[in-house]
Structure 1
């Protein structure tokens, strides 16, 4: 009589991330092998998953187990408990249904052979356990945030701070500023505020070998996305409010896609955010933070100038201007941009792209000629006698304001020193009159120390000298203005110079005129017009281009002041 062949058993073991160790898998396998020996089952395969949650059915070892069962390679699946196989009710029911179809039984050390009732009850318990665990974890994290502690990992710029508590345990959730990383953060914000892109900043940091964030999925190499992140979600170096001493929690909610098993995030309403002030963790001042926020807004506006929410922003629209007046030139006939039609000449984009029905202006002008005429007019106005006098007056005011502050501190110190000398003289007089007391010695020592401190302060704050404007000051001003074109295009200041110039000039209107140099009259519009008007006659706005709240000046042939031309 032939003996009944033993059942082929496959063992499955898993541990998640909740404070379990890799040895947990070994313990589970040992328990399952003992159960197989007791029942006479032959262990043919062992499948494991390490540090993976039972909520996710897309575990590598779990999927291999199912494929082995479907291929008829095993007769029974053995695990420590049902929640090792799955913590999801739907997945547990599906597993039992599929294994029943392929003739594979499910056995656990805790529940023995699984059936519909055991799977249903155990799945319900697991689901309730996970929900209760999530609520308790969330409550604990919210309490940490309320105490200004970390509710998760430590972001770039900080390090874990450990202190021994009165009960002998170590503190958790505390952090402090990491000086070297803090300096990198300040550099990133300053570079971005100065006009550098996230891509340029990342490339510079990598070329210098500056280590990047390594926590989580960080590789230690700087990427543009590491710096720019997502402004709405508060991700990225430039959007981390912790750098200005604000701890923001519950901005995002995380959930798992049941189809893909991937963990996704959703943005919570701002009313649900938890915000705590943690001034001890501030790295940046408000001025630099707001400068970066302002520039981010300008970049977003450039990417989507119409503000259409349904239109996907286009990064190429936010490219920085290549030349000094790029993007500022406008056709006076149709309002379209003047763009480079070749390497050296500007022309109306409306006429070129939309035809004569939209614009008939086919005149072109050299790029360098436009820049030279604008800067020449600017130089002429800035060298006017009235502006030279105003420059000297503003310099005098700034000097006097700085000197007044130093003088005030010196005067306070001198007054305090006079009082201290009086107190010392009084003590000496009392000693001479035979009124010595031991406490007078301590008081005398204290006064002598204060006297020494005040004398040192006065020595470090000498009397401010009388303001004398050097005879070469006006000449230096002239040299700087005369060399304006070279100064504005110097590589080390070009980025800042272009930004400042664009803040003063809203546009340069190109008026086609066959009799004018280069076939164009130039009209400057913006705050720069008001500044330049200080050095010339009263401005006269051309009626066609007059705008409320702005000064308009014309840069034409010869820049005749009578017509307010530059």
Structure 2
């Protein structure tokens, strides 16, 4: 047992306060008490150490404490003086460790409140301080639970809401009140609507940032602010507060090795309260988005990528069954392009396939012969599902009434039981179980009923579906939420597309040729479009998902898509000019001569008519060589040129002609003058005497 240090001992002060809610003057007050105590005992002050806004439950981040221990290790003081033992630490293990180190260094711990700290006092106060912290935590939780049960909230304010400043009867502020922020709430609704329309979180954030909309805490928008955490119900797309449901005790915290570890609690451990005045997002829209987010949890990463085109992943090769992808605007077989296992070299434009499919659906599927029986089956199935739903809701409602009655009875029994008795614990467990079952049944009762059957005659339904298809096809041309929604709806109409080269047709060397297109899709998705207009479908409509049985028949049809490369029109227009040069030439015709002839002839018809004469000449020669009509006589000089294959001359004979051109007789230019007619009159002149006689 240590005695009071003698006068002249070197003393160090240590002070601390816990949170930013306390004042810096707390340190000054502690140091003033320590200075008076040391002066009274004539100790020599060595140095003052302190930690501001640092909890006593851990030693992490307490620079002043470690600086003091380092000075003690160097033997710079003899006494450690604190206001009370809890200023050093409120954790029993940490306090004993600090006391042990100082005792080994022969340093005495003194407090202003009690003098020299004995071993018994140290043990008692260390445990007492630790229990004090635990009791404070429990009291704080009870206070928070009481506030939540009274309709208030705890924690940070979610985006879209703001704090309500209100005073109670005593004039003190009431904490935990929230209200909808009229400036931010539309942003929350817009985010949910755009996700429902099929836009990715990345595109939503990019659009908001481009428009200069401030994100949470004034920072730029990021996908993480939207998605949050699926286990904790965090993020704008996952926080249930936006449908008026506040969840308390989402997380629990544990201190481990000086650090706080947080985990998300199970749904059954949370305290849930309803706040209809805080609803920002409609329940139906919320449910659709939660279902959409849940779809991405267990899907492979490569399938989570948003499709670029309306039929991406749905188009297959009819030769090897590989997927067809879009390359340079045309569908090509990956079995040939990437794997080398397919002979299908056809390349058909994506837009031509999409347009032809939508046009053919209107002809082959949207007719009374196909949709008539399907509509009858659809109506019957919807009526059966609706009847099952009504019966299930009635059963769940009866069960809810029974649970409410049992909860009321248990509350009466709990009021008569002792607070800490075994019976009260059993009653609480039963109440928790019934409460979880009640919440589950309430969510099931709120589920929307199945869609109503489609009304009207078959002709009107077909006309409505046809108009909707046309609007959706037009909406694909834009780059916004409506285009994304239209893309998703149209993808739901088609389950598989097969592209097969038409037997007997030929290709033009560039992959163009007749293609047989086979299309498959469910009838129910077409029927779902009957009562929807383009605005509601593109922005707020439900995706075409059905659980119907006999109404989900699959339609299929095939047709031949004739495709010719439009660039060949220019080639065909230039061929007569090139052919005339080859017919009249006694030596190979150079590419420069062909280009000059095309330039002299002027523009021709075709998609590539505006190209340079050199390019047009190369395209024409390439076409002729592909079909085997011409060949190149390569002289490795400007004399290199092209000739007809059917001229019957070998390459050596053509080269000889270049070396010694054939003898030719040149006919001089003859000037042809029209014949002239000259009339000459010859007669004798009159005699003089005859003139005189006259």
Q: What is the TM-score of this pair, normalised by structure 1? A: 0.67
Where does 1:348-387 land on structure 2 (aligned, <5 Å)? Answer: 360-366=341-347, 369-382=349-362
Alpha-carbon distance between aligned partners in 1 of 2:466 and 2:253, rounded to the nearest angstrom: 62
For residues 467-490 of structure 1, the C-alpha deviation after alignment (integer angstroms, 9 at most, x for no partner) is xxxxxxx99999997797664232
Aligned to 2:681: none
For residues 285-320 of structure 1, the C-alpha deviation after alignment (integer angstroms, 9 at most, x for no partner) is 11221232122123334xx34xxxxxxxx4x54221
Instruction: State the structure with more CA Rg.
Output: 2
Aligned to 1:21: 23
Residues 523 and 555 of structure 2 are in contact (CA less than 8 Å); yes or no, is this contact kept in structure 1? no
Shift of 1:43: 3.3
Alpha-carbon distance between aligned partners in 1 of 2:307 and 2:68, rounded to the nearest angstrom: 59
Where does 1:97-246 land on structure 2 (aligned, <5 Å)? Answer: 97-214=100-217, 220-246=219-245
SS of the residue 2:349 aligns to: helix
When residues 349 and 122 of structure 1 are mapped into structure 2, their CA distance, relative to the original with a 3 A threshold, is farther
Aligned to 2:554: 551
For residues 438-488 of structure 1, the C-alpha deviation after alignment (integer angstroms, 9 at most, x for no partner) is xxxxxxxxxxxxxxxxxxxxxxxxxxxxxxxxxxxx999999977976642
Aligned to 1:96: 99
When residues 74 and 344 of structure 1 are mapped into structure 2, their CA distance, relative to the original with a 3 A threshold, is farther
SS of the residue 2:297 aligns to: helix
Alpha-carbon distance between aligned partners in 1 of 2:493 and 2:464, rounded to the nearest angstrom: 23
Alpha-carbon distance between aligned partners in 2 of 1:171 and 1:484, rounded to the nearest angstrom: 52
Shift of 1:376: 0.8
Aligned to 1:321: 307
When residues 485 and 196 of structure 1 are mapped into structure 2, their CA distance, relative to the original with a 3 A threshold, is closer
Shift of 1:257: 2.2
Structure 1: unaligned runs, 5 residues or longer: 306-313, 392-473, 535-546, 560-566
Shift of 1:386: 6.5
Alpha-carbon distance between aligned partners in 2 of 1:98 and 1:84, rounded to the nearest angstrom: 17
Aligned to 1:274: 271
Residues 514 and 560 of structure 2 are in contact (CA less than 8 Å); yes or no, is this contact kept in structure 1? no
When residues 381 and 322 of structure 1 are mapped into structure 2, their CA distance, relative to the original with a 3 A threshold, is closer
Structure 2: unaligned runs, 5 residues or longer: 1-5, 372-461, 506-511, 530-549, 563-694
Shift of 1:246: 0.7
Q: What is the TM-score of this pair, normalised by structure 2? A: 0.56
For residues 469-524 of structure 1, the C-alpha deviation after alignment (integer angstroms, 9 at most, x for no partner) is xxxxx999999977976642322443222111122222324456665775864332
When residues 100 and 347 of structure 1 are mapped into structure 2, their CA distance, relative to the original with a 3 A threshold, is farther
Alpha-carbon distance between aligned partners in 1 of 2:551 and 2:466, rounded to the nearest angstrom: 33
Matched, 1:76 2:79: yes
Shift of 1:349: 5.1
Shift of 1:325: 1.9
When residues 494 and 117 of structure 1 are mapped into structure 2, their CA distance, relative to the original with a 3 A threshold, is same
For residues 255-303 of structure 1, the C-alpha deviation after alignment (integer angstroms, 9 at most, x for no partner) is 2222xx33222122222111111111111111221232122123334xx
When residues 531 and 365 of structure 1 are mapped into structure 2, their CA distance, relative to the original with a 3 A threshold, is farther
Where does 1:265-304 land on structure 2 (aligned, <5 Å)? Answer: 265-301=262-298, 304=299
Alpha-carbon distance between aligned partners in 1 of 2:266 and 2:256, rounded to the nearest angstrom: 21
Alpha-carbon distance between aligned partners in 2 of 1:497 and 1:93, rounded to the nearest angstrom: 69
**Paired residues, what number?**
438
Alpha-carbon distance between aligned partners in 2 of 1:279 and 1:484, rounded to the nearest angstrom: 36
Alpha-carbon distance between aligned partners in 2 of 1:339 and 1:34, rounded to the nearest angstrom: 85
Q: Single out whichever of 43-52 and 343-352 deviates more from structure 2.
A: 343-352
Shift of 1:34: 2.0
Q: Cα RMSD over matched residues?
A: 3.8
SS of the residue 1:557 aligns to: strand
Aligned to 1:57: 59
Shift of 1:237: 1.5
